[in-house]
């Protein structure tokens, strides 16, 4: 067994080396190219690719998911004068497809998606145990759905399939999210028909795959406005189970720590989670001390917001990051009830988040029940936004949440340092426009 795992480790290193090479080779050529180069025509090869894409996402892709949208929604302040974060903090029409943050976010998501597509393309041609095949297939489908979901959280349209020639066709946000749901339902069917084998589960020891599938199904059903389905999926999720991106602090370091904590970072979390007015967290909210350490520091420019030091899941180079938080499921249910005008149940689930003291990750507000207007759908939705902004801090969710919950926000084209969000969607990367003739026109804002 030890000899086998050593072989797997060596193949995974080779896979990651190829990924790094592809990233350097194609960032300025063809970001849509799937990872066919690294697909090995064997069980060991496909399993190694699953490990490689997991590590690539955890250490490389997660960083721009959190940072890019966080700078656009006031989660982060820019403490130095570098161009990339400065453009994201201001937003509006100043932000264009040449921004380096956008040019990290887009291709890294496409590369991870391409790796999952390669597994799905080749899995039927490789002999393996039925449980290993079902686990690998379900994981690749979940992974593709996850990367597609993050794409349309930031971009107005996205390619459902990568293309070898770089000419991927783009699909609407609704069609992409529908594909996410389809993939996740198919993944559930895979595991229902044949549960994942211990052999496969050994390759994702820190991820609860059935739970992840239901959690992301709840997320995307909410985004689609399928509220009954969102409640059903969220209620299935085991809130005491954990799924984490794990770091050793040596070869694999926490990527959020790396850009927001390590050394003298140019990006730090804003005071009060970047929230203002009625959204400022209440005194005694336990999530403040969990996520933030107050410091006497402000931005050197860009609105002069006060910034804090990041704690919680980002305090050290080896701290694990949850793939999703239990509080998200409770708030999905609350929002779904609110949107179907069941305000009593909406408030019930808001209070479950506010009064929580036993969160498996210790994200506990420990507050009293909400004292707001329980007869006002607007007030309830604003309380949901406030709690999502605090509970899901630095998870890359706030741009999506702001756009969904406050769709009528007027965003100045010239940019703004204080508005809740300074873009609706990002422009497509310059290289995508140059290399893919199917790239849509950039959204105005």
* CATH value of 2-249+271-427 in 1.25.40.390, 2.160.20.60, 3.40.50.150, 2.40.50.140: 1.25.40.390
Alpha helices, H only, 227-325: 227-236, 255-260, 286-291
Tokens 């479950």 belong to 352
CA-based angle 235:241:243, to the nearest 5? Answer: 110
Contact 273, 306 (CB under 8 A): no
The two three-digit tokens of residue 269, written as one number: 């979390």
Query: What's the pLDDT at 300?
Result: 67
CB atoms within 10 A of CB 50: 23
Closest of 80, 22, 125, 48 to residue 264, by C-alpha: 80
The bridge status of strand 244-245 relative to strand 267-269 is: unpaired
Domain ranges, ordered by start, for the chain: 2-249+271-427
The two three-digit tokens of residue 257, written as one number: 């720590």
Classified as helix, coil or strand, 275 is: coil
Query: What's the pLDDT at 80?
Result: 81
Closest of 195, 96, 140 to residue 428, by C-alpha: 96
pLDDT in tens, the chain (445 residues): 433 444 444 445 445 444 433 333 333 345 555 445 555 789 999 999 999 999 999 999 999 999 999 999 999 998 887 899 999 999 999 999 999 999 999 999 999 999 999 999 999 999 999 999 999 999 999 999 999 999 999 999 999 999 999 999 999 999 999 999 999 999 999 999 999 999 999 999 999 999 999 999 999 999 999 999 999 999 999 999 999 999 999 999 999 999 999 998 989 999 999 999 999 999 999 999 999 999 877 776 778 889 999 999 999 999 999 999 999 999 999 999 999 999 999 999 999 999 999 999 999 999 999 999 999 999 999 999 999 999 999 999 999 999 999 999 999 999 999 999 999 999 999 999 999 999 999 999 9
Tens of pLDDT along 12-23? 544 544 443 333
CB atoms within 10 A of CB 414: 11
CB atoms within 10 A of CB 180: 28
Tens of pLDDT along 72-96? 999 999 888 789 999 999 999 999 9
Contact 150, 109 (CB under 8 A): yes
Tokens 């998870």 belong to 395
CA distance 83 to 316: 27
Contact 187, 198 (CB under 8 A): no
Query: What's the pLDDT at 40?
Result: 73
Contact 38, 18 (CB under 8 A): yes
Query: What's the pLDDT at 298?
Result: 79
CA distance 82 to 266: 8
> Considering just the CA atoms, what is the radius of gyration of the chain in Å?
21
Closest of 51, 38, 217, 57 to residue 136, by C-alpha: 51
């Amino acid at each position: 067994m030890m000899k086998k795992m050593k072989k797997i480790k060596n193949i995974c290193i080779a896979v990651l080396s190829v990924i790094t090479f592809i990233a350097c080779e194609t960032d300025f050529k063809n970001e849509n190219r799937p990872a066919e180069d690294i697909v090995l025509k064997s069980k060991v090869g496909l399993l190694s690719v699953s490990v490689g894409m997991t590590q690539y996402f955890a250490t490389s892709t997660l960083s721009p998911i959190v940072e890019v949208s966080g700078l656009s929604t006031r989660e982060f302040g820019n403490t130095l004068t570098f161009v990339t974060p400065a453009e994201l903090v201001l937003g509006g029409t100043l932000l264009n497809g040449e921004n380096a943050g956008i040019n990290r976010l887009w291709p890294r998501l496409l590369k991870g998606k391409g790796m999952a597509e390669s597994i799905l393309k080749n899995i039927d041609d490789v002999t393996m145990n039925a449980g290993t095949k079902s686990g690998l297939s379900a994981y690749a489908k979940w992974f593709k759905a996850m990367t597609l979901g993050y794409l349309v959280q930031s971009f107005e349209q996205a390619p459902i399939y990568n293309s070898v020639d770089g000419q991927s066709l783009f699909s609407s946000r609704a069609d992409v999210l529908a594909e996410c749901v389809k993939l996740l339902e198919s993944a559930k069917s895979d595991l229902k028909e044949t549960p994942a084998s211990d052999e496969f589960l050994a390759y994702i020891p820190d991820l609860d795959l059935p739970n992840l599938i239901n959690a992301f199904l709840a997320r995307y059903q909410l985004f689609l406005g399928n509220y009954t389905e969102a409640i059903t999926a969220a209620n299935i999720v085991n809130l005491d189970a954990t799924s984490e991106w794990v770091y050793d602090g040596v070869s694999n370091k926490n990527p959020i720590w790396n850009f927001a904590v390590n050394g003298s970072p140019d990006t730090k979390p804003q005071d009060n989670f970047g929230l203002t007015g009625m959204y400022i967290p209440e005194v005694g909210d336990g999530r403040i001390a969990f996520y933030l350490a107050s410091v006497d520091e402000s931005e050197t420019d860009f609105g002069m917001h006060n910034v804090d030091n990041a704690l919680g899941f980002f305090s050290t180079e080896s701290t694990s990051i949850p793939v999703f938080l239990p509080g998200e499921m409770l708030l999905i249910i609350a929002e779904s009830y609110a949107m179907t005008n069941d305000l009593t149940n909406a408030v019930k689930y808001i209070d479950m988040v506010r009064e929580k003291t036993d969160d498996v990750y210790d994200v506990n507000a420990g507050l009293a029940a909400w004292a707001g207007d329980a007869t006002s759908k607007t007030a309830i939705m604003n309380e949901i936004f406030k709690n999502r902004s605090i509970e899901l801090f630095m998870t890359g969710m706030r741009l999506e949440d702001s756009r969904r919950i406050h769709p009528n926000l007027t965003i100045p084209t010239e940019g703004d340092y204080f508005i809740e969000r300074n873009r609706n969607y990002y422009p497509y990367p310059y290289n995508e426009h140059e290399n893919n003739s199917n790239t849509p026109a950039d959204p105005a804002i």
